[in-house]
């Protein structure tokens, strides 16, 4: 019994699948300028509807989304700016019957009509160099040299924006010289097609122009000179204002011997002797000992004679 039920379910599923994909798919699905276009399947009546989906990512697992602003009866769809880089697919539907999906190429700038040039700024003293690049190569392939870059820039100050200047570039690189150092400049760019604006205007890119090395060195020397001059002026002012204190501090220190030392040296307990001249022969250590011994002996002899005299 269970086997018969399973076989019946499989046959029903196959029947439903065959019934689901019984419609012919849309023909010749392609991107043409700013439209996705396709043709009605052959031998289909006017009651066929179409479903349209898009996917922004390139990963196969990314989710597909239905396009909601589509009437489902037309054979074309206007590409909107938010679909740049997306991939589209379309299929036919009638009741419970559908066809297989048909895929388009990825949406590029020539289809979205909303691209802006990729602008890169490099800054040097008094100079800003602008480099241009395309988001993709579709505009260059489609229009060639007829697509140009319209660059605008202006100086920003505290009062606001000054006069805007425009330059049309056919190449991808341009340097703007003799810009004012120490100022901020902003740049924008937009495509031109046969001298008419094409696509959107880019966001503002602002840079600060640095000082040149020569001007920087000159400014440093001027500031150093002013600093040294100001320091010297302050020192002269303080010296003039406190010259008495400075004079007192610069006087030599008093090196007089204290009074109690002078009294000690002048007393009889510490008799002063004249120093012998350097030319006189100095006594050696053993000469001093001899002299001292002789003087002691003489003194003893004198004492003995005095004793004898007193006895007699």
95 — pLDDT class (breaks 50, 70, 90): confident
Give the domains, in start order, of the chain with CATH numbers: 15-112 (2.60.40.10), 118-213 (2.60.40.10)
pLDDT at 265: 66
- How many angstroms separate the CA atoms of 166 and 174, rounded? 12
Average pLDDT, the chain: 79
pLDDT greater than 50 at residue 121? yes
pLDDT at 109: 95
pLDDT at 10: 43
pLDDT greater than 60 at residue 128? yes
- Residue closest to 227 by CA, chosen among 235, 215, 239: 235
For residue range 148-182, list pLDDT tens digits in order.
Answer: 999 999 998 776 667 899 999 988 899 998 888 88
15 — pLDDT class (breaks 50, 70, 90): very low
For residue range 76-89, list pLDDT tens digits in order.
Answer: 999 999 999 999 99
pLDDT at 186: 94
For residue range 217-240, list pLDDT tens digits in order.
Answer: 566 778 788 888 888 888 887 777
């Amino acid at each position: 019994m269970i086997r018969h039920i399973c076989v019946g379910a499989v046959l029903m599923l196959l029947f439903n699948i065959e019934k689901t994909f019984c419609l012919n798919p849309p023909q010749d699905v392609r991107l043409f300028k700013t439209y996705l276009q396709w043709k009605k399947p052959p031998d289909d009546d006017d009651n066929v509807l179409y479903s349209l989906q898009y996917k922004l990512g390139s990963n196969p697992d990314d989710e597909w989304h239905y396009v909601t602003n589509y009437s489902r009866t037309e054979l074309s769809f206007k590409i909107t700016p938010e679909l740049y880089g997306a991939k589209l697919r379309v299929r036919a539907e009638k009741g419970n019957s559908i066809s297989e999906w048909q895929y388009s190429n990825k949406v590029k700038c020539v289809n979205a009509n909303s691209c802006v040039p990729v602008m890169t700024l490099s800054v040097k003293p008094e100079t800003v160099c602008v480099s241009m690049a395309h988001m993709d190569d579709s505009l260059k392939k489609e229009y060639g040299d007829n697509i140009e870059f319209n660059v605008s820039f202006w100086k920003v100050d505290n009062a606001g924006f000054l006069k805007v200047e425009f330059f049309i570039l056919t190449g991808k690189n341009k340097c703007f010289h003799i810009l004012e150092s120490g100022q901020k400049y902003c740049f924008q760019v937009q495509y031109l097609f046969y001298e008419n604006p094409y696509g959107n205007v880019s966001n503002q890119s602002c840079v600060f122009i640095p000082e040149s090395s020569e001007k920087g060195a000159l400014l440093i020397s001027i500031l150093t000179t002013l600093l040294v001059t100001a320091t010297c002026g302050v020192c002269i002012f303080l010296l003039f204002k406190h010259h008495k204190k400075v004079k007192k501090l610069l006087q030599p220190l008093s090196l007089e011997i204290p009074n109690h030392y002078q009294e000690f040296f002048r007393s009889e307990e510490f008799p002063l002797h004249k120093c012998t001249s350097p030319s006189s022969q100095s006594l050696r250590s053993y000469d001093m000992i001899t002299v001292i011994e002789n003087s002691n002996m003489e003194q003893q002899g004198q004492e003995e004679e005095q004793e004898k005299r007193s006895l007699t």
